[in-house]
Amino acid sequence: MREALLPGTIDENTRATLESAGGSGASDEEALGGPGRECLDIDDIFSRSFGDPFEDLVVDLAAQSDLPQEDVRKALHIDPRTLPGNCLASTENDEGGAHYELRGIGSDIIAVRVEGNSASLAGFYHGCQLTVLEPYQGRGLGTALAAWKFIFYGGFPCWDLDEASYSPRGMGVHRAAFDALTALL
């Protein structure tokens, strides 16, 4: 896992949110469904995207920044760090000379791989959709994205659903993020 990309500290709001969900003793239902929740919907169907999560991200970032969608799309493909309103959440050097950055834009989180003068989108967490692009999967980026989304959003977005829903893999990623955050309590 990319430990350096995970938060090293949490603020009082995040601390209170984690504790309201049961803290380090939270059940899966509380950690992944939210405070007081008693059920989850875990199914492979939720590993499929409904619509195009990348295009949804483009539309929302364009609306937030007042940029044309095409300019946002280009920035995400050419250098996501140039998007207005983004702030660096964490960074980690890679053994191969590249590094990863997690950047917050509103309540969205993007993962960027930077190598020399080149930067590419490695993943993002927009709305309830966590996406790590295939070449970057299995490296802990999903867990780091979920942890920072929790901080920026004030919990996991699925907490706002009638019934919190995750794919089996998404459940594991989000539980690992919750556990990493509660370790900071």
pLDDT of residue 89: 93
pLDDT digits (tens, 9 = 90+) for 24-83: 999 999 999 999 999 999 999 998 766 689 999 999 999 999 999 999 999 999 999 999
Domain count, the chain: 1
pLDDT digits (tens, 9 = 90+) for 165-181: 999 999 999 999 999 99
Length of the chain: 185
On whether the CB atoms of residues 40 and 165 are closer than 8 A, the answer is yes
Question: What is the mean pLDDT of the segment spanning 98-103?
Answer: 93
pLDDT of residue 97: 81
N- to C-terminal Cα distance for the chain? Answer: 20
pLDDT of residue 50: 63
Instruction: Please give the mean pLDDT across all residues of the chain.
Output: 93
pLDDT digits (tens, 9 = 90+) for 112-167: 999 988 999 999 999 999 999 999 998 899 999 999 999 999 999 999 999 999 99
pTM of the predicted model, to two decimals? 0.94
Closest CA to 142 of 161, 156, 163: 156
Q: What values do phi and psi take at 65, rounded to 5?
A: -105, -5
Cβ within 8 Å of residue 120, ≥6 positions away? 77, 80, 112, 113
**Most distant CA pair in the chain: distance in Å?**
48
Return d(Cα 155, Cα 128) in angstroms, integer. Answer: 11
pLDDT of residue 55: 94
Q: Which domain holds residue 116?
A: 3-182
On whether the CB atoms of residues 120 and 132 are closer than 8 A, the answer is no
Closest CA to 136 of 170, 171, 100: 100
